[in-house]
Amino acid sequence: MSAVTELVEQTRQFVIDHVIPVEREVVVDGRVTDDEMRLDLQKKAKAAGVFGPLSDPRYGGLGLDTRGQAQVLEAAGASLLGPLAVNAWAPDDGNIHLLAHVANAEQQERYLAPLAAGDVRSAIALTEPAPGAGSDPRMLQTTAQETDTGWVINGAKHFTTGANGAAFIICVAMTTDGPTMFLVDQDNPGLHVGRRMRTLDHTSAPGGHCEVNFADCEVSDAAVLGQVGRGLELAQVRLAPSRLTFCMNWLGLAVRAQQLTIDHITTRSSFGVPIAEHGLAQGLIADSEIDIAAARSLVRATAETIDIHGPTSPQARHETSIAKTFVSEAVWRVLDRAVQLHGALGVTEDHLVARFLVEARAFRIYEGPSEVLRWSIARRVLRGPR
């Protein structure tokens, strides 16, 4: 048994023993997903040896390449709270990768080390209310003006995932040289975390999706992440891995929903026979199995591309766009069939699949809506042979 295969089994067992019971408390009993829960689950993940599939061993992580992550995170994704428990949930997943590749040594010690260790959470503030940046980051309205002592940031953001309680926020703001990323500490008096937006997905993200305002927010030159004016270019470092991490995690949930459905239809009868013996039910199970197999193949092939060519390579950008589009829609189809095959029980959260479906809906929008990704895929194809 390879080390990765063994780790997959450890992760699967950890999710069964420690995460799924808490998931049921959240979905069925209404327990709030907060930092106390996160820290408790991550403590247990560390004890089980499955914490940090995205992190370097020097920060207590597992040091996996992307191909290893694909297998381990599918196992972790079997629960809505699994990726959070192993410290591989948005936005920390992408921010860990970004800081590891872009931050200087001092920033890595101050921000990456505690984030990768699970001691703190983070957020990234890019999306803005209209007419600001959304799917098109070039519409950035938030500004950062240079001063004698550093920078002053002004602007409004929303859908800033995890902002409530985050130790720091990576703010993308426009400077005279172009978009730039800044590290803003939680206690900065110019940073105001506002309303937690009421969204369909609310189970798995401590800190929610928040409105954030930067009002005469002063930061020093040391707060610049990467180079001034290269914020959007450098942000590409996190984009491909983050999109694929989403795919890995949600694929795991689709696999679990398929098994829950199989368990249900083989034990419940209608019209004198188990539901599983009805041809139409078998067709839905087969379609879901096809979607899962195709999604898994795409994820693992794309993971190999990232490992070989790097996360900012043209190959990685193209293949992660394809994977994100297909997997997000395949997962939705699998979860929708799971609800359908559970019948009336499928729309009650007692059987979990209803909550799975609702939580997964945003997957087709976050990190690039399917329509925008299709547009970018087509543009690259139409440029000619690669």
Q: How far from chain centre, in Å, is Cα 10?
A: 22
**What number is the average pLDDT over the span 224-229?**
97
- pLDDT, position 240: 93
CATH number of 122-229: 2.40.110.10
Extents of the domains making up the chain:
3-102, 122-229, 232-382
**What number is the average pLDDT over the span 188-210?**
93
Is the pLDDT at 29 greater than 90, yes or no?
yes
**What number is the average pLDDT over the span 112-140?**
94
Backbone angles phi, psi at 246, to 5 degrees: -55, -45
- pLDDT, position 204: 80
Q: Around Cβ 129, how many Cβ atoms within 10 Å?
A: 14
CA pair distance 17, 149, nearest whole angstrom? 52
CA pair distance 172, 127, nearest whole angstrom? 9
CA pair distance 357, 87, nearest whole angstrom? 22
Give the model's confidence band at 333: pLDDT under 50 very low, under 70 low, under 90 confident, else very high. Answer: very high
Is the pLDDT at 384 greater than 80, yes or no?
no
HEC readout, the chain? CCHHHHHHHHHHHHHHHHHHHHHHHHHCCCCCCCHHHHHHHHHHHHHHCCCCCCCCHHHCCCCCCHHHHHHHHHHHCCCCCHHHHCCCCCCHHHHHHHHHHHCCHHHHHHHHHHHHCCCCCEEEECCCCCCCCCCCHHHCCCEEEECCCCEEEEEEEEEEECCCCCCEEEEEEEECCEEEEEEEECCCCCEEEEEECCCCCCCCCCCCEEEEEEEEEEECHHHEECCCCCHHHHHHHHHHHHHHHHHHHHHHHHHHHHHHHHHHHHHCEECCEEHHHCHHHHHHHHHHHHHHHHHHHHHHHHHHHHHHHCCCCHHHHHHHHHHHHHHHHHHHHHHHHHHHHCHHHHHCHHHCHHHHHHHHHHHHCCCCCHHHHHHHHHHHHHCCCC
Share of the chain above pLDDT 90, in %: 95
Class level of CATH domain 3-102: mainly alpha
Is the pLDDT at 117 greater than 70, yes or no?
yes
Predicted confidence (pLDDT) per residue in 278-307, tens digit = 999 999 999 999 999 999 999 999 999 999
- pLDDT, position 134: 86
**What number is the average pLDDT over the span 337-350?**
96
**What number is the average pLDDT over the span 176-183?**
97
Contact 317, 236 (CB under 8 A): yes
| CA-based radius of gyration for the chain | 21
Instruction: Write out the two tokens for 59.
Output: 């920060």
Instruction: Write out the two tokens for 88.
Output: 């591989």
Is the pLDDT at 111 greater than 70, yes or no?
yes
Buried b (16+ CB within 10 A) or exposed e, 328-343: bebbbbbbbbbbebbe
- pLDDT, position 334: 98
Predicted confidence (pLDDT) per residue in 229-245, tens digit = 999 999 889 999 999 99
**What number is the average pLDDT over the span 117-136?**
94
Does 122-229 match 3-102 at the fold level?
A: no
**What number is the average pLDDT over the span 140-164?**
97
**What number is the average pLDDT over the span 306-317?**
95
Contact 18, 62 (CB under 8 A): no
Residue 131: asked if its preceding bond is cis (omega within 30°), the reply is yes
Instruction: Tell which residue, 332, 340, 337, 386, has the closest CA to residue 361.
Output: 332
- pLDDT, position 386: 59
Give ∠ CA 157-160-165 in degrees, rounded to 5.
120
Is the pLDDT at 385 greater than 80, yes or no?
no
Backbone angles phi, psi at 227, to 5 degrees: -110, 145
**What number is the average pLDDT over the span 193-200?**
94
Is the pLDDT at 88 greater than 70, yes or no?
yes
- pLDDT, position 135: 84
In CATH, which of 1.20.140.10, 3.40.50.300, 3.30.70.100, 3.20.20.10 is domain 232-382? 1.20.140.10
Task: Give me the chain's average pLDDT, please.
Answer: 96
